[in-house]
Structure 1
Amino acid sequence: MAVLAFVIGVLVVVVGLGVSIGLHEIGHLAPAKRFNVETSRYMIGLGPVLWSKKVGETEYGLKLLPIGGYISMAGMYAPVRQKTRIRGVLGTLVQDARDANHESLEGVDTSRAFFRLPVWKRIVIMLGGPFMNLLLALVLFTVLYSGIGLQQTTTTVAAVAECVVPAGTEAAECGTDDPASPAKAAGLLPGDTLVSIDGAQVATFAEASEIIQAHPDEELSVVVRRDGAEQELRLTPVLAEREIAGDDGEVTTQSVGFAGMTAQVARVQQPLWSGAQATGDSLVRVAGIIVQLPVRLWDTAVDLFTGQPRDADGPLSVVGVGRLAGEVAAAEAPILDRVGAMVGLLGSVNIALFVFNLIPLLPLDGGHVAIALWDGLKRAWAKLRGAPEPAPADATKFVPVALLVVVFMVAMGALLMAADLFNPITLGG
């Protein structure tokens, strides 16, 4: 059964990744068609074509590997007539790119070419893909936080301690000399819902704990809801040493008021804006990983060859994401917990797609945006000087850089896949 659940988890991520890629490409395709750019292909996946159908001028299809996708637009690069002045291998690469670009424009209505569009329209088309991933991440995090909800302690009492056990002891049962816990002495019962303490309304168990800890050896009025009716109890917290977690996560031992009760844990739906906040937090975290990507990859390689545990917040390949999804699906946890974890995982994947595609290097979307901005600056400078409009920016000069980016991406993918197979990040960290 666990194996079947693992496979289902992997399939869910594969389908989710395919949907994310498909929406990314629709983000490019929709404005391209709106701006009348000739689009010949819309493909989800890489490798051999599994299915395709031509509708109008565009062939729509699915390919074998759900690890990418693309749309084919006419005239992605402006044609350049003169020969390149760059010598050597780099010059050959640039010239080959120019020749291939000329061949791709043969028989194409260049009035509908991408490079003919105003700068702002080119930017809209190229940012449309990442924007769809950001929008999908926002929807997924909103579903997770405001629909499914987060596991939180509630104001309902889960258990009441029989006695006060001295701090630092490992006693599992009360001794004859151990005093009854304040909660037990006050008459609190499992299932009671805390309404107010010392006259202050409490909406969370953390608020109740804060009041109790601040009033050792003081009698407090505690209003609880029991069997649908409210009743007042009298609670006197005792001074006891307890471990307290600070805002920085550091745990210290402090003398505080102690009652001896624990709270029930339940899923609590968060405010609607929580999804947007989670999206922003994820953006900051993923951007930090991308900025440090070379260092993170080096650490991953070292951990792979030394067998050291990997950083749980480090980069993953598709294999790693699928493996985590399988572990989530096979975990012994309530189904809603597993669904929530899968939704959060897919949201994080879409944030990663958004941030990575904004890197201003070809062939990524951010690279095309950078070329369009460069073209716009050239035109603005010429207009400012009263000079004729310059020729479109020559993007083929950056083909060597694009090739290096592709090589880096292939090498990165190979490294991360090897690490995810032989030194994986697991649910345990």
Structure 2
Amino acid sequence: MAYYTFNIGHPPTTAWWQENLARGVITAGWDGEAGDRGDQVLNQLEEGDWVLAYCNGPGFVGAGRVLGTGSYQLHKDVPEGSLSSHQHERKVQWGPFVRDVSHGIRAAKVGTHPPRQTKEHIDPAVGETVIVLLAERAALEANEPLPALGDWKYWHVLEAVRALGGSVSVKEITTWLGENYPHEDSSDARDNACLLSVNDANRRHHDHGRKDFRTDQGNPKDALYRVGRHRDVSYELYDPSVHGFWDILEEDGKWVAKQLEGPVSPVDHALREARVLVASEPVPPIGNDHDARVYELRAVALREGQSDFRAALLDAYDRKCAITGCGVVEILEAAHIRPYRGEYTHRTDNGLLLRADIHTLFDKGLIWVDAEGFVQLDEKLSGSEYGPLRGHKLRAPADPAVQPHAEHLTHHRKHTARLPARQGES
């Protein structure tokens, strides 16, 4: 069994992705002929392999197990009613997935890169992490209880530290695991805690598939912080605002855990994450000259449209962030309230001028605007530097024609912030 990232397009619409789900398939294009690259890509997969569907931009949107080679089909013509031009397909038993592609998981979030080809092998540990995060996000999308972290034992160690709270010893972790996973061998609890600990140089020996151990990339395995040395150690949840950023580096022939930066405020952390997401935007796989030309023209249109969109919002909001009032133009960004779906969404009434970190949190649904125009926050931000923003009145433009449309803000609350399941909307 292997894990593969499978690029499904740039970008597919939510409707096209749901077509894949409804038909239970993964598809490929190229010439639509037997033996072409699309045929090869699908038939190189073994029954039982995992395919992690990746949408350029939003990221991973679904994971599924490939069915036998007998489920492969080459359509003579594009299936009637299909939103794609693909004629090659193979059946997939889809597992965890999000229905809205805007809820995808960025490659940087799991410590990998966007696919450079249609199908790329991915480390099993990274693949399992993607599956876990997709299950969590799918539960949030459906307003259901969060699932367990996953079946890999290092997630169980993290679960133990979260449940016990504070700084806990290996003995305490092992005891908790024995009570909650009695049929599981917990003798490697120390090794699994090491794998998750940002300041333990030995983690590289327990996570061979990972190449970059910088903790400013949003990897979910950067989860614990080790306190103490040798056998007398304990573990607590990693928090960049308390522990700073770390990396595993080679110095004088030895691997050491080195702090790259001291404690980082939530604002700086969000700004850093925003830059990482921008830098991780992939170059899509290009199957032929037509694909290359389409991508080039689309990129030009996006650049031109985004520039005009931002300029209009700068004018509308008097060059200040709509939520914080920040006037540093260099870090003010044009945020779509409803996700970008083409040039028509570059409307001033579908935009907010936001500071870069606020833009990131708004897109994640951690900040939203309630029906009365007041700023609201997810409980995750309670106690952070963003806390004082709760209850602030949105700084709307004076001109009603360019004010954010109430229907767009409602759409953001429902589909991005996933209200009314969340608390805090007044």
Under TM normalisation by the shorter chain, which class is it? under 0.3
TM-score for the superposition, normalised by structure 2: 0.25
TM-score for the superposition, normalised by structure 1: 0.25
Larger Rg: 1
Name the structure, 1 or 2, with higher relative contact order (CA <8 Å, separation 6+): 1
Instruction: Considering fraction of residues, name the structure with more helix.
Output: 1
